[in-house]
Each structure stands twice: as C-alpha cells, then as structure tokens.
C-alpha cells in the first residue's frame, strides 16, 4: 500500500497501519539521530518521540510533500533539543566533579557512549553540520531538500555544507598527517 493510503487509514484510527511507516523509516532516522547525538540509546528515544509526534500530528501532514523529509524535520528539532539538554546536563555534572578528568580522543568509548564518528569530528562539527552532512551523504539530499529539514534557506545550507566538508577534509588530512609522522 502507498504512503497516502497508510496515512488515511491511520487517520481513521487504524493505529496498526502506522507500523509500516515506523519499519520503513526507522533505519534512516536512526542513522541521522546517531550521527547527531553519538549515542544509540538517545537516538532510539528520539526516534520513538519522533514517530509519536508524527502520529499525533498526522492530520496536519501535507500528503503532497515527502513524508521522509517531514519525519527528518521533526527528528532534527528533537535532536537539537536533546543535544542542548545533554550539553547543559554534562556541564552541571562537570562542575560537580571534583577530580580532574582527562579525555583522549583515541580512547575507546564504552557501550554507554558509543560514538559513530571519529571523536574529533564531534568536537569539530556542530549538530547542524552533522545533520546536513548526513542527509547529503546518506540520502543524497540537495541543499533545497536539506533546507526544509533544518528550517533555513538553501544558500545557508550550501554554505554550511561546504564549511563542514572542508572541516572534515582538514581534520582527516591532519589526522592522517599525524599518523604518518608517528
């Protein structure tokens, strides 16, 4: 059944039909969420919240538009909020810690904090840049498509994308250079 048919049936109260949407879009949403948040558990929570919010507001969805982009839009906002919360929370925790903490980028992250990018890139790229890059690389989204997700103009996305691409290139070259020197 096509998406429009599924959405219509969901709106009639057949909640079971929504499972098809969840199954279809969970992997791409998870990929973006994991890239932005760097943590599988947080990504799962955000995906769950995204689908629930989408279900709640399914009646307001314009079926002429892409469902995938709409879901990405919800996910992106939720990821940003989660990242902000995490930053605030970790800031508070760091203040509470009395012992000095050392962090090495090459250390193996534990299962709780499993990173899905080289650790240095999490510091180099902002959540917005990670989202833009992930959509561009994994989904083949254009600047116009991405602008719908992140809520800014296509030109802003193009500049953000180019800056992020240059940062990664510089990071990888630097890392590779360091490894060669070693």
Partner 1 sequence: MVSCKIVNALYAAVPSRVFRDYLIRTHLEKCDGCQARYISRSEAEALFIKPGNANPASGLWEKIECQIGQEAAVPEQRLTGLRWEWAVGAVTFLVLAAASFWLLRGVQTKAVRADYIWPAGHFGINYINVGGAPAQAFVYQPKGADIIIVWAEKKS
* Interaction of residue 63 with partner 1, rule CB under 8 A: no
Extract the tokens encoding 165.
């691409």
Please report the DSSP string for 40-75 in residue order: HHHHHHHHHHHHHHHHHTGGG--TTS-HHHHHHHHH
Nearer to partner 1, 18 or 76 (CB): 18
* Interaction of residue 136 with partner 1, rule CB under 8 A: yes
User: Burial level of 20, CB count in 10 A (0-12/13-18/19+)?
Assistant: middle
Which part of the chain contacts partner 1 (CB under 8 A), choosing from 19-27, 69-77, 90-98, 99-107? 19-27
Residue 120 near residue 105 (C-beta atoms within 8 A): yes
Neighbouring residues of 155: CB distance < 8 A, sequence distance ≥ 6 = 143
User: Burial level of 151, CB count in 10 A (0-12/13-18/19+)?
Assistant: exposed
- Per-residue x/- track, 93-132, partner 1 (CB under 8 A): -----------------------xxx--x-----------
What's the closest the beta carbon of residue 6 comes to partner 1, in angstroms?
A: 14
CA separation for the pair 175, 169 (Å, rounded): 10
Which part of the chain contacts partner 1 (CB under 8 A), choosing from 61-69, 71-79, 82-90, 166-174? 166-174
Nearer to partner 1, 88 or 137 (CB): 137
List of residues contacting partner 1 (CB under 8 A): 13, 15-16, 18-19, 22-23, 26-28, 30-31, 34-35, 40, 43-44, 47-48, 51-52, 55-56, 116-118, 121, 133-134, 136-138, 140, 155-156, 158-159, 162, 165-166, 168-169, 172
């Amino acid at each position: 059944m096509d998406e429009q048919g599924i959405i219509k049936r969901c709106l009639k109260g057949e909640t079971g039909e929504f499972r098809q949407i969840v199954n279809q879009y969970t992997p791409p949403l998870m990929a973006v969420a994991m890239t932005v948040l760097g943590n599988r558990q947080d990504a799962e929570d955000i995906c769950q919240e995204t689908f629930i919010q989408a279900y709640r507001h399914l009646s307001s969805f314009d079926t002429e538009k892409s469902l995938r982009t709409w879901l990405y839009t919800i996910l992106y906002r939720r990821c940003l909020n989660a990242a902000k919360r995490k930053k605030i929370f970790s800031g508070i925790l760091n203040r509470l810690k009395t012992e000095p903490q050392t962090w090495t980028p090459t250390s193996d992250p534990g299962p709780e904090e499993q990173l899905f990018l080289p650790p240095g890139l999490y510091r180099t790229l902002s959540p917005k840049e990670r989202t833009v890059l992930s959509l561009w690389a994994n989904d083949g989204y254009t600047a116009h498509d991405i602008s719908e997700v992140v809520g800014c103009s296509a030109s802003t996305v193009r500049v953000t994308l180019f800056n992020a691409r240059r940062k990664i290139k510089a990071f990888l070259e630097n890392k590779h250079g360091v490894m060669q020197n070693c």
